[in-house]
Every structure is written in structure tokens, then in C-alpha cells.
Amino acid sequence: MTSVDRNKIAVLLKEEAGKTVMAKGWVRTKRGNKNVAFIALNDGSTINNIQIVCDMKKFSDEEMKPITTGACICVTGQLVESQGSGQRVEIQAEEIQVYGTADPETYPLQKKGHSMEFLREIAHLRPRTNTFGAVLRIRHSMAYAIHKFFNDKGFYYLHTPLITASDAEGAGAMFQVTTLDISNPPRKEDGKVDYAQDFFGRQTNLTVSGQLEGELGALALGEIYTFGPTFRAENSNTPRHLAEFWMIEPEMAFYEIKENMDLAEEFIKYLVKYALDNCMDDLKFLNDMFDKELIARLQSVISTDFVRLTYTEGIDILEKSGRKFEFPVYWGVDLQSEHERYLVEQHFKKPVILTDYPKDIKAFYMKQNDDGKTVRAMDVLFPKIGEIIGGSQREENLEKLQNRIAELGMGTESLWWYIETRKFGTAPHSGFGLGFERLLLFVTGMANIRDVIPFPRTPKTAEF
Ligand code: ATP
Ligand code: MN
């Protein structure tokens, strides 16, 4: 046995020829003739395969037979300059060990292109495709860049709970968390379920947002962000909604809406630039395979100022557009994706930040404007996606907050701790939520949100 350390293919492809190397990975393809076989090997470290050249004088048919698409192998050999085009170096195989075979009759990822729908049915194997390898590497890079962005700015990463007792936001239907026997729950005299006997002694749910706890952090640490999973039991089967998705929620003391918008714009541009600077191999692949305008679109976003206008101005543009929308437009309507996309893609042709929405379509905690009708909300709208960020300046005035809560008929028992922040040392503050998968839709050019998360959770699907 040759003794040499295994190197990742990403590293080997950059090395100089003329040494013994070892690579381990999964066979993408094998082709050749009686004299020579070529194996394209991938180990996930890069979209690029390394070519393994097998001189058939050195290997028997018996040895080569189990090396088929999908098999996992360990190759030792000489790194040599490649004779063929398409790669600088390749491995002249000396030894091949097969770790695991993949029967060509049953292994589903044969060479031919597969539909995205089919790949969702084999989510356990789809990370081995070029497309998902690219998407998952970009997903990782974006997660890293998010932490780097905030860390470099002095924000603290705050961990907010996933199990909550407050449906504070009303942001979406919630998943209940319980240890009660749901086929026979304990009941109170009035017949209602007795949650006092449940694990937490009350009814609890999976969080729809970490914001309310995020505010507690901001009003102590100054600037914080959360980055974690959120859950919404909304039965919306759209290409932009998941039941389990990741959200980034910065929350900042002493920021007003303007600074909040500035941060959101700087943040997205930073992330897009990070992808262009660090993920170009994967982006080029996605650009060539799926979306010929992807890279141009990413470049254009980092060099344009986002348009800023009020909801009222936005409605005006939509009304004057002469467009027939599926959902009619009028002041007070909650904008649909088709409206958002019209503003971004047709009218302005760049990202848009809409502010000052009607208070009735926004959450209770948003800062009330003096007009009595609107709140200091801001949504960032993106091409192909619609809403990518939702945020606001928060209502810091105790009385106004309490009045709004009462107006909406919300119970305050589960929110007493939130309200106390306005009683003790309240401060102007703002924040927003960026849907991680919506960002990834934009950065990867994928068309469906199910294809930018490894194991999507959507209505009626929770396999894998
Ligand atoms: P939408 O109107 O698109 O459903 P929302 O108004 O419910 O969004 P927010 O409650 O403001 O969204 O959540 C903040 C961000 O989280 C959104 O801007 C979006 O990027 C993301 N987001 C919201 N719901 C989902 C979901 N079901 N799946 C994936 N991302 C989501
Ligand atoms: Mn929603």
C-alpha cells in the first residue's frame, strides 16, 4: 500500500503535477475502451470532478466492473498533467479500493438530467447531484457570511427559543407542541383541553419568529441578530413558502426606520457580493444550467441603490399601471407577490423598499405614524421573489403599544414581559427578518424554495 494522505478534490485540482496523491469520492461517470478507462470523481468539495485515468493493463475487468456511477471509491495514483482538455491535472490510477457499489439497475441518479420534482422525491440522494452540491455549498457560504457580517459590525448572536407560549406576531398559523395524549387529552369542566396538565403547564407552539425575544436582547446588548429555524403552519403551497424555514432577524436599539433600511440594503448587498467573490464556480454552473441571467442579476443588485417609496405611493403606481392583476389593488390591501413583482420587475427594474403600510395589515408592535393610519413598516421587495425582508421600527411608547394591543383584542397575559420593556428604559429601536431560503432563491436562481433547503417541510411532506 502506498502511504499518502487523502486530499480533497478541490485541493488536488489546484496542485502541481508530479506527486503521489489519494482521492476519495463518488463516481459521476465512467467511460473508456479496452485500453483505458476515465472516471469522473466528485467528493463534494467543489463542483468540479477530478479525472481518474485507468490504464487497463494495470486493472482487470473484474476490478473495474463495480466502479459504476454512484459507487464510492478510494484512488491512489500519480497526479499528472492532463492530456485532455477541460482539466489541468488528472490522476493516473495505481490502486483503487471500492468502498461501496451502486447497482446501475437501481441507483436512481444515472447520468441523464432529472427533473427537480423527481429529485425532491429522492432528497436523500439529491445532494450528490451537481445542482444540489452547488446550492448546498452556496447555502453554507451565505450562513457563514451572515455571521461574519454581523460579527464585524459588533452585533451579538442571540439564541431565541423555538418553543413559545405566545402567538405574539400572528405571523402565521402555529404548530402546537404538546406531550398530552391527543387521542384522549385531559379536559376541564367546560370540556376544553386542560393545558395546565401539559408539559409546560400551558399551551405552547413552535415559534414563527424570534423577534419579540430579539427585542429584549437589543434593549440590553444594543445590536443583536438571531439566525435560526422558524415554523409556520400556513397551508400555502407556493414556490416561496416552507413550513420550516430559517430566518435572520437583526434587532437594533437606537435605529430608526431610515437606519433600519440602510442596514437591510447593506446586508443583502454584502451577502450577494460575498457569493460573487467566493462561490463563482457554483454560480457559473447554475448560471449555465438554469438561469442565464443569474450572475448579471447578482452583479446589478450590488451596484444599484434600492428604490425607497411609501406603500401609498406604491399603490398609486399599481393603480395607474393599467394592469389587470389577479388580486385587485386598492389602498389597504395586503400586497400579493404579483403586485410586488410588478413594482420591482416592470416598473422600477430594481429592488424596492416599501414603507409606511396601513396599520391594519401589519403587526401590533410596529411604530404608529402620526397620520393614525399607517405604521413605520418596511418590506424589501426583490426581482423574481417579491418580499425578501419584512421589518419595522418598533412602537416604543408604552401607552400606544397597549392601546394597539387592546384595539386588536389580543390577550396581554402571555406578553407581559414584552410590554415591560416599554415600561423600563424604553428606547427607539428597529429590526427586520430576512428569510434565509428567499435569499438563497435569489442568489442561486432556483425557482422553487423546496430546492434551496436540503430537506424541505411543506404541507403533506416531511419525509427524510
Ligand atoms: P409572505 O407575505 O411572503 O408570506 P410574511 O409577510 O408572512 O411573508 P414575515 O412574517 O414578515 O413574512 O417574515 C419575514 C421574512 O421571512 C419574509 O420577508 C420572508 O423572507 C420570510 N418568510 C416568511 N414566511 C415564509 C415561509 N413560509 N417560508 C419561507 N420564508 C418565509
Ligand atoms: Mn406569510
- CA of 172 from ligand 2 middle (Å) equals 6
Task: Specify the residue with its C-alpha closest to ligand 1, atom 11.
Answer: 390
DSSP strand pairing (352-358 vs 307-310): parallel
Task: Specify the residue with its C-alpha closest to ligand 1, atom 18.
Answer: 389
Report whether residue 213 contacts ligand 1, using a CB cutoff of 6 Å.
Answer: no
The C-alpha atoms of residue 2 and residue 211 are separated, in whole angstroms, by: 56
The C-alpha atoms of residue 44 and residue 445 are separated, in whole angstroms, by: 20
- CA of 236 from ligand 2 middle (Å) equals 9
- CA of 70 from ligand 1 middle (Å) equals 37
- CA of 171 from ligand 1 middle (Å) equals 8
Which helix (H) or strand (E) covers residue 339, if one does?
Answer: helix 337-341
Which cell is 272 given? 450577494
Closest to 277 in 3D by CA, of 132, 128, 144? 144
Q: Using alpha carbons only, give the angle 380, 385, 388 rounded to the nearest 5 degrees.
A: 30
Mutate to test the pocket of ligand 1, among 235, 247, 380 (most ligand atoms within 8 A of CB): 247
Report whether residue 249 contacts ligand 1, using a CB cutoff of 6 Å.
Answer: no
Closest-lying ligand to the alpha carbon of 243? 1
The C-alpha atoms of residue 311 and residue 309 are separated, in whole angstroms, by: 7
Burial of 438 (0-12, 13-18, 19+ CB in 10 A): buried
Q: Cα–Cα distances in Å, from 393 out to 93, 299, 357, 362?
A: 62, 30, 12, 12
The reported pLDDT for the residue numbered 113 is 81
Contact predicate 247/388, CB 8 Å: no
Task: Specify the residue with its C-alpha closest to ligand 1, atom 24.
Answer: 241
Report whether residue 437 contacts ligand 1, using a CB cutoff of 6 Å.
Answer: yes
The reported pLDDT for the residue numbered 235 is 82
- CA of 356 from ligand 2 middle (Å) equals 18
User: What DSSP string describes 293-312?
Assistant: THHHHHHHHHHSPPEEEEHH
Q: What's the number of CA atoms in the CB half-sphere (13 Å) around residue 251?
A: 24
The reported pLDDT for the residue numbered 2 is 57
Mean pLDDT of residues grouped by 10 in the chain (464 residues)?
86 96 97 96 98 96 96 98 89 98 95 89 97 98 98 98 78 89 96 96 94 97 98 90 97 98 98 98 97 96 97 97 94 95 96 98 96 98 94 98 92 89 98 98 97 97 94
The C-alpha atoms of residue 444 and residue 439 are separated, in whole angstroms, by: 9
Which cell is 274 given? 460575498
- CA of 436 from ligand 1 middle (Å) equals 10
Give the ligand 1 atom nearest the CA of 232.
Answer: 27
The C-alpha atoms of residue 248 and residue 429 are separated, in whole angstroms, by: 17
What totals of helices (H) and strands (E) does the chain contain, helices first? Answer: 13, 16
Report whether residue 242 contacts ligand 1, using a CB cutoff of 6 Å.
Answer: yes
Give the ligand 1 atom nearest the CA of 449.
Answer: 29
**Strand stretches in 3-88, DSSP E:** 19-32, 36-42, 50-55, 72-81
DSSP tag of 394: B
Q: What is the pTM of this model?
A: 0.96
Report whether residue 245 contacts ligand 1, using a CB cutoff of 6 Å.
Answer: yes
Task: Specify the residue with its C-alpha closest to ligand 1, atom 8.
Answer: 387
**CA–centroid distance for 313 within its chain:** 30
The reported pLDDT for the residue numbered 171 is 62
442 backbone dihedrals φ, ψ, rounded to 5°: -65, -45
